[in-house]
Amino acid sequence: MAESIKTRLMRWGFNFFPAYRRTGARFTYIAGDLCEIRIRLPLNWKTRNYVGTIFGGSMYSAVDPVYMVMLINLLGPDYIVWDKAATIHFRKPGRTTLYARFTLDQRDLEAIREQLEHEPKIERIFRADLTDRQGTVHATVDKTIHIRCKADARR
């Protein structure tokens, strides 16, 4: 799905937001329905560590907000969504530009809503891989996201 005007403005907003801008990463695509987001993390003077590869903190911070923002927008105002925990597994040093693709589909959202009908809160783990152009995984980030219904929505 192509970017909409709304998601294009959202992408520009993220890329100029100081906290995200300082990660060195950039949002390159946000689908019009917000079910897919892509980012790019180049190896440059802002992201390079002491040994000349991409700094692990840049890798993590590049993917940190994405799933939470997607879920907040896709689930809507009746839900509370927070990052709860994360782990990062470094597989290979990042010596070139890295990319990540985040996807959620309607089945994921329906499963979350259905589970919340029976439980007051849930935690879901979402995975993001940072890969090079050839598809080699350099780091894997598992994000634990806390989701619950707002009290007003349960009535």
Report pLDDT for 21. Answer: 94
Distance of CA 150 to the CA centre of its chain: 23
Contact yes or no for 65/31 (Cβ under 8 A): no
Q: Say what the pTM is.
A: 0.92
Encoded tokens for 131: 């890969």
Using CA atoms, how far residue 113 sits from 15, 34, 110, in Å, is 30, 17, 5
Report pLDDT for 151. Answer: 74
Provide the terminal-to-terminal Cα distance of the chain, rounded to the nearest Å: 35
Q: Which helix (H) or strand (E) holds 117?
A: helix 106-118
Non-local CB neighbours of 60 within 8 Å, separated by 6+ positions: 86, 88, 139, 141
- Residue 68 phi, psi (nearest 5): -60, -45
**What does each of the 155 residues of the chain score in pLDDT, given as a tens digit?**
899 999 999 999 999 999 999 999 999 999 999 999 999 999 999 999 999 999 999 999 999 999 999 999 999 999 999 999 999 999 999 999 999 999 999 999 999 999 999 999 999 999 999 999 999 999 999 999 999 999 755 54
Q: Give CA angle at 105 (40, 139), nearest 5°.
A: 35
- Residue 127 phi, psi (nearest 5): -110, 140
From the candidate CATH numbers 3.40.50.150, 3.20.20.70, 3.40.50.970, 3.10.129.10, the one assigned to the domain spanning 5-154: 3.10.129.10
Report pLDDT for 11. Answer: 96
* Strand partners of residue 54: 48
